[in-house]
Structure 1
């Protein structure tokens, strides 16, 4: 039996254990997306729409007036809290802890956000109302992508699994910054709430510095921070990330509070919150939408950004960095395998759906068109990436010693 005083990260490897080599979270998302599409295009379409979009008889806040709002502004704050915990742990003592470890994933993630955005703008930028959607194809869905890798079993080198995970972590950081900077609406009357948010956040930082290790003070403060941010014009999910960064990593009895929270919340995030979000947001009623609509600038731009932009940006970045000696590519992986991983980064389900909702508030047709592009681009990337990796990788028992692709 393992010593219960061992750090939780060494026993459970919290988030990584959920995804690496395990297809279950990704398969669940696929099933949820399919169920949402079936519900939105069946005799239950009216009930599906009413369930999420009908206004409650009573609600405590304008941004909590329907189940859709509660999921996107409430439950997803927990998802972002888990993301923040993962990011902090990786930066402090994980795969992003040193400049050498950060160099290639950060560079690849940045290229993997900028190039899809550029592809989107080339196709859709001619229409001013569509420009706000530039960030939709910029995000990678970690659960979906790692789920596809899980279907391949041990064929894919461990270095590539780790690379995809670290790129997705950096990608999440970038997506959070994009939401905070470009998709928050702050007016003069919201400034007091921003000040209140900063005061609460300062209190949480003070608790960290004082080495407060009890859970409940942080939970109470995080809820208060969420209420303040919800009212501030900054998207409420940012409170989740900000709160997570204040959770202490100093150890008591071998385990840190951050690791305990991450281990406790990660399964709920991966297997409950994200699927609920997916079911609430992936359903698109296709009645009246023909193939001609599929080629409209918005869905075409989103799909092209995910399928073409992601792989072009990430693969080119790795190749150039290796050739000029700036960073080494993943060890033991061929260039075709690296290309396959780059394609999988075009799976943009969860974060892309989230940004799509923020990009076109109140424009249901544009949101639905963005969803079509997201679903199409993600499915194409998943299938193409799987095929490339399935045809170019071998079982480790059959794999001969390979040198680095550089």
Structure 2
């Protein structure tokens, strides 16, 4: 047991480094996909963009005749949420969130970073059509973009900064999942729900019996997704449920647990294909003087901007300060309040899940304004956080070089 305790930190560090590299690459691809969407949707070829996004494909049976944009939103993002579910399960069982002292601060910070943006958005947009659901748009933090910016700008920050941000984003994802499940369930098909529960129970039983063949799991995952989609619950919830039911502890003699094996195989597809393709069809909004003017003069998009840019910083940093000052939690090792402030600003990068909630919450015309606000806020937050992180990076690099400098001869008093 003592040996396993000694080995686990090294394994956790290497696993996190792999996760960070993949998400950083995915963040770059996501940025490219967003740029393509904006250019395409505002070019002379914009009709082809909308025609492709709105082209319907699939059988009418079980309500599966969906547009390509909806397939990206409901289908491909289920893969993203499956990987998020695997990461959440691993963190809860054997990772940073499994130990109380390490888990408290990012959990409290994530809760503050969800509640305060929602309250600020409601305060700014109160009474505007659609705000009964649009308050949820600034609740989310985008893992790929946030980790990507951190990796590119903060190589000298302690590893505890990256663990804090990842843990915060994982808890944030869980909150967004709950919001989606509660707010965006349209009707409820009891028979389909029964099929979904039975299929999930079979998946859990096969995991318990150590069955490993993909020939059973892939069809079963498809059945779960179709059943959840048919119930009226957003289909991405199927991915989360399957991820949380996957075994994360390896058996004796087993090289790696199924959750880690699946994460290795699927995370690159999630980061480099699923999320960028979703962004390609979600970020294609009209950008002109009138549209930009409407973002800054209409209550609802202003509420989204305020929630992401003000609410996230106040919520994450404020909740962290309260938790530390009351003795409930401790600051991550080697980090100061300025570091936490920069990471709090990085929490305002809402992107993927914020765009998803905007599409689910609002009709097309209003959702275009909300999505424009998400893109603008995410750009401002990422650039501002990058500038702060670069300063903190230089400060940590200077501190390290000072520590490495040999002490000279002492001066006379």
Per the normalisation by structure 2, the TM-score is 0.89
Q: Check the 8 A contact 1:22/1:146 in 2, yes or no.
A: yes
The residue that corresponds to 1:230 in the other structure is 229
1:183 lines up with 2:184 in the alignment: yes
Aligned ranges for residues 363-378 of structure 1 at < 5 Å?
363-378=363-378
Matched residues in 2 for 1:290 and 1:139: separation?
A: 24
Q: Does 1:293 align with 2:294?
A: yes
CA gap of 1:390–1:307, structure 2 versus 1, over 3 A, is same
Deviation at 1:67, TM superposition (A): 0.5
Moved more, 327-336 or 337-346: 327-336
Counting only pairs closer than 5 Å after superposition, residues 252-401 of structure 1 correspond to structure 2 as: 252-287=253-288, 289-295=290-296, 296-360=298-362, 363-394=363-394, 396-400=396-400
Q: Distance between the aligned counterparts of 2:261 and 2:392, measured in 1?
A: 39
Deviation, structure 1 residue 101: 2.1
Structure 1 segment 3-402 matched on structure 2, within 5 A: 10=11, 13=14, 16-19=17-20, 23-56=24-57, 60-187=61-188, 190-249=189-248, 250-251=250-251, 252-287=253-288, 289-295=290-296, 296-360=298-362, 363-394=363-394, 396-400=396-400
Alignment CA distance shift 1:58-1:321 (3 Å): closer
User: Relative to structure 2, which stretch is displaced further, 133-142 or 62-71?
Assistant: 62-71
Cα 1:314–1:36 change in 2 (3 A) is same
1:240 to 1:119, Cα distance in 2 relative to 1, 3 A: same
**Does the Cα contact within 8 Å between 2:138 and 2:307 map onto a contact in 1?**
yes
CA distance in 2, matches of 1:21, 1:265: 11
Q: Deviations over 1:313-340 (max 9, x none)?
A: 0001111111111100121112111100
1:247 and 1:21, CA in 2 relative to 1: closer, same or farther beyond 3 A?
A: closer
**What is the TM-score with the length of structure 1 in the denominator?**
0.91
Q: CA deviation at 1:270?
A: 0.6
Unaligned stretches of 5+ residues in structure 1? 1-5
Flag the 1:292–1:148 CA change in 2: closer, same or farther, 3 A: same
Q: How many residues align?
A: 392
RMSD across aligned C-alpha pairs, in angstroms?
Answer: 2.3
- Structure with greater Cα Rg: 2
> Does the aligned pair in 1 maintain the 2:154–2:392 contact within 8 Å?
no
Q: Helix, strand or coil: the match of 1:213?
A: coil
Tell me the CA shift for residue 80 of structure 1. Answer: 0.9
Detail structure 1 runs of 4+ shifted over 6 Å in the superposition.
none
SS at match of 1:286: coil
Q: Deviations over 1:45-89 (max 9, x none)?
A: 111111111234865553442111111111111111111111111
Deviation for aligned residue 1:129: 2.6
Contact 1:104 1:318 in 2 (8 A): yes
- Separation (CA, whole Å) in 2 of partners of 1:34 and 1:256: 38
Return the offset for 1:288: 6.8
Shift in Å, 1:345:
0.6
Structure 2's unaligned 5+ residue stretches are 1-6, 404-413
Aligned to 2:3: none
Cα contact 2:207–2:247 (8 A) shared by 1: yes
Distance 1:70 1:19, change over 3 A: same
Q: Deviations over 1:270-301 (max 9, x none)?
A: 11111111111011013573443022111111
Conserved? CA contact 1:116–1:306, under 8 Å: yes
More helix by share: 2
Q: Which moved more, 1:138-147 or 1:10-19?
A: 10-19
* Distance 1:352-1:128 versus aligned 2 partners, 3 A rule: same
> CA offset at residue 128 of structure 1?
4.2
Check the 8 A contact 1:25/1:270 in 2, yes or no.
Answer: yes
Contact between 2:156 and 2:393, CA under 8 Å: does it hold in 1? yes
Contact 2:130 2:361 in 1 (8 A): no
Cα distance in 1 for residues equivalent to 2:391 and 2:398: 14
In the alignment, is the contact (CA less than 8 A) between 1:180 and 1:235 conserved in 2?
yes
CA 1:151–1:22: 2 relative to 1, 3 Å: farther
Bigger drift between 271-280 and 247-256 goes to 247-256
